[in-house]
A and B are shown apart, each in its own frame.
Chain A
Amino acid sequence: MSEPTPPARELRIPSLARVEGETALHLRIRHGTVTEARLSIYEPPRFFEAFLRGRAHTEPPDLTSRICGICPVAYQMSACRAIEDACGVVVDGQLAALRRLLYCGEWIESQTLHIHMLHAPDFLGEDDVIGLSRSHLEHVRRGLRLKQTGNAVVELLGGRAIHPVNVRLGGFHRAPTRAELRPLEERLRTALDDAWDTVRWVAGFEFPDAECDADLLALAEPGTYAIESGVPTVLPYAATPPPYGFPLRDFTDHVAEEQVPHSTALHSRLDGRRHLTGSLARWAVSGHLLSPLALEAARAAGLGDPPSRAGTGRGEACRNPYRSILVRAVEVLYAVEEALRIIAEYERPARPYTEVPPRAGTGHGATEAPRGLLYHRYALDGGGRVTGARIVPPTAQNQGAIEEDLRRLVQAGLDRGEGSEAELTRLCERAVRNHDPCISCSAHFLELDIQRTH
């Protein structure tokens, strides 16, 4: 895997396991100092932004869902919101509630997949979920059951769990009846117990000390834990500047992407600084808006209180990427509760969708994919043709912070004298998995040349 070539040493991990998509890692160590840590995303470019041009405004939700099989709902929701924004349509009431329900299904399913199948084996010294099922069968069974419940929600509302077919601009092709949602309630009630048990289980893991010195970026929505809408909000790492938000239409003025030689994914910086989106950022920005039950679970898991933007001064952000599994487990519990609440309050809308007649303009949409903020922008002509598209996925945003994390962890490992290849490989693989990166999403083509601002 590597040849020690003094004085410099190189460590290559050709392919990382248990992450979605394909990526390789390259470390350069000189005289005991890490001089370079880079994540090479070798997922081939798939040109989505380029071929969206010329398509009808109704097409991006189905098309962009194919960017990622792990979080297709996130793509569909961000695309719908951006195009509806361009067309001046707001989807509200029960249709908005159904969208949140669908998204809760994806959160339950995707976060549970990451917790049990990808992340937990790291804490328990197993290679994979198969090994885990030998040593911790009950926990794996519970994870599969929970994941199935998330899938069941997406399947009922969307037709299938991967690339759902029932989503359209303005809402859904068909809205379920109350009776059709009822069987989900029973499963979700069992899932509530399973989600609690999952929080307890992961709370017992051992967490190495670590801190990610990156700004945290997540959506914020008044009165609710932001999932399917919100305003980009930043909790900076340093005390200055203080927490701030900015209008979504200014997103690409703040989050600037740049191409780096080693990766098909672009790197992005938030106002010139490294940033992180995802569970840790959501906890920091919206944690105080979680339900009482989810907050109780968070406390039981040792997360304490989330920062309160209301200024009571209590609570703290969690910046240890190893502990992101705790926030994910709490988010699963919250999503199960939200799903139950939405179903209990559901009245079938008179029409399954609101008309979205095309008009010329540019629209912006962002939602919280399980692994972080996902931004879409579309420019349409008067006939509803897409004339430009821009998609900024979470993994591309997180890549800079992940590399910095790797650099620091490897340096600390070296300083402790843990320099063997096997030790470093394991350390790095864990560090990357902490961030639940979705490589398929981040490898896409970006339109660097189109900049339209109002």
Chain B
Amino acid sequence: MSTPTPPQPPARPRLGVFKLASCDGCQLTLLDCEDELLGIAAELDIAHFLEASGDIAPGPYDLVLVEGSVSTPEHLERIRRIRADARHLVTIGACATAGGVQALRNYADVEGYLAAVYARPAYIETLATSTPVSAHVPVDFELRGCPIDRGQLVEVITAFLAGRKPAIANHSVCFSCKRRGNVCVTVAQGTPCLGPVTHAGCGALCPTYGRGCYGCFGPAGTTNLPALVPLMQRDGMGEEDIARFLHTFNVTAFTAVEEQAQPGTADAEGPG
């Protein structure tokens, strides 16, 4: 137990990247960090990252990034094993954090889907729902976005290496929009925009390109969705349109936040 050991050179922390149901876009964001990639590889021992390498080392891993939602019985098993192997587990993207676009099935009858569209449904194993990782195992940090933002990913990795909390603000897209000096698309053009209730991270991309935000980063820490509804109605959206608008890339996340009436709890951490 307390046998003195000679000082060892500090081992590089071991990184594991795993995937459940997803499009690979969030993992690709890591490969898109061209300027930082070789630097990251120098600081971290990339022990498991199937998209990039056939050199697979078993766990435990110091930092694990998980992309994708839990949508098959096998995923349930896998996410528990991944958690057991992970010292620090971060979910990346809307799939892993909120069930992703494939959670649209949660409203449908999956058996019906299977029977209607597959000739031999018995071959396919799938859960009726697509759920976030946090519904099954504890998560240390959730990084939002569909896909995640490159800068925020580098911040999460840097913070991990420095042993501090990631400095990821919890405010809404509107803040970034103002900072960018955009003209508000809702005020100026009457374009419906989820910016007021959506988590920042993208740098207010959509308004910068003249369209309304469609909420791909999920709900911000403190939102007042009911206050936004009349504005969307003013801009010509019916009840059904509003429901679809909110239930796309973070299927239940917006309404869940409102229903719980506990603004801010959607984020595992984040200084705000």
**B54 and A17: CB pair below 8 A?**
yes
Per-residue CB contact flags for chain A residues 143-165 toward chain B (1 = under 8 Å, else 0) read 01101100100000001111101
Closest Cβ–Cβ distance, residue B24 to chain A (whole Å): 5
**B24 and A20: CB pair below 8 A?**
yes
Contact of B32 among A43, A45, A161, A264 (CB under 8 A): A161
Interface membership of B41, Cβ < 8 A? yes
Closest A residue, CB atoms, query B148: A162
> Would you call the interface of chain A mostly helix, strand, loop, or mixed?
loop
**A259 and B52: CB pair below 8 A?**
no
Please indicate the chain A residues that have their CB under 8 angstroms from the CB of B202 in the complex. 160
| With A47-B104, A160-B205, A261-B123: A66-B118 Cβ-Cβ less than 8 Å | no
Residues of B145-159 whose CB lies within 8 A of A:
146-147
11 other A-B residue contacts (CB within 8 Å) besides A17-B50, A174-B211: A20-B51, A22-B50, A50-B108, A68-B24, A128-B52, A128-B54, A168-B211, A172-B209, A174-B209, A259-B119, A446-B118
B contacts, CB < 8 Å to A? 19-29, 31-32, 34-35, 37-38, 41, 46, 50-56, 71-72, 74-75, 100-102, 104-105, 108, 110, 113, 116-120, 123-124, 126, 146-147, 202, 205-206, 208-211, 214, 216, 241, 244, 248-249
A contacts, CB < 8 Å to B? 15-22, 42-47, 49-51, 55-56, 59, 62-63, 66-70, 72, 113, 117, 127-131, 133, 140, 144-145, 147-148, 151, 159-163, 165-166, 168, 172-174, 258-259, 261-262, 264, 352, 429, 440, 445-449
Complex CA gap A116/B141 in Å reads: 32
A-B residue pairs in contact (CB < 8 Å), sample of 27: A17-B52, A17-B53, A21-B24, A22-B19, A46-B101, A47-B110, A49-B117, A51-B104, A69-B24, A69-B147, A72-B23, A117-B31, A128-B53, A129-B53, A133-B41, A140-B38, A145-B34, A159-B205, A159-B208, A165-B209, A165-B211, A166-B211, A172-B209, A173-B211, A174-B209, A440-B24, A448-B119
**A133 and B113: CB pair below 8 A?**
no
Please indicate the chain B residues that have their CB under 8 angstroms from the CB of A445 in the complex. 113, 117-118
Please indicate the chain A residues that have their CB under 8 angstroms from the CB of B117 in the complex. 49-50, 445-449
**B32 and A70: CB pair below 8 A?**
no
Closest B residue, CB atoms, query A46: B102
Complex CA gap A145/B37 in Å reads: 12
Please indicate the chain A residues that have their CB under 8 angstroms from the CB of B120 in the complex. 259, 261
Closest Cβ–Cβ distance, residue A66 to chain B (whole Å): 5
Please indicate the chain B residues that have their CB under 8 angstroms from the CB of A113 in the complex. 31
Complex CA gap A16/B51 in Å reads: 9
Complex CA gap A367/B249 in Å reads: 25
Closest Cβ–Cβ distance, residue B13 to chain A (whole Å): 15
Complex CA gap A159/B116 in Å reads: 38
Complex CA gap A127/B101 in Å reads: 33
Closest A residue, CB atoms, query B45: A130
**B113 and A50: CB pair below 8 A?**
yes
Closest B residue, CB atoms, query A64: B101
Please indicate the chain A residues that have their CB under 8 angstroms from the CB of B19 in the complex. 21-22
Complex CA gap A173/B193 in Å reads: 14
| With A15-B50, A174-B210: A163-B102 Cβ-Cβ less than 8 Å | no
Please indicate the chain B residues that have their CB under 8 angstroms from the CB of A148 in the complex. 34-35
Contact of A51 among B24, B46, B108, B249 (CB under 8 A): B108
Complex CA gap A55/B24 in Å reads: 24
Please indicate the chain B residues that have their CB under 8 angstroms from the CB of A140 in the complex. 38
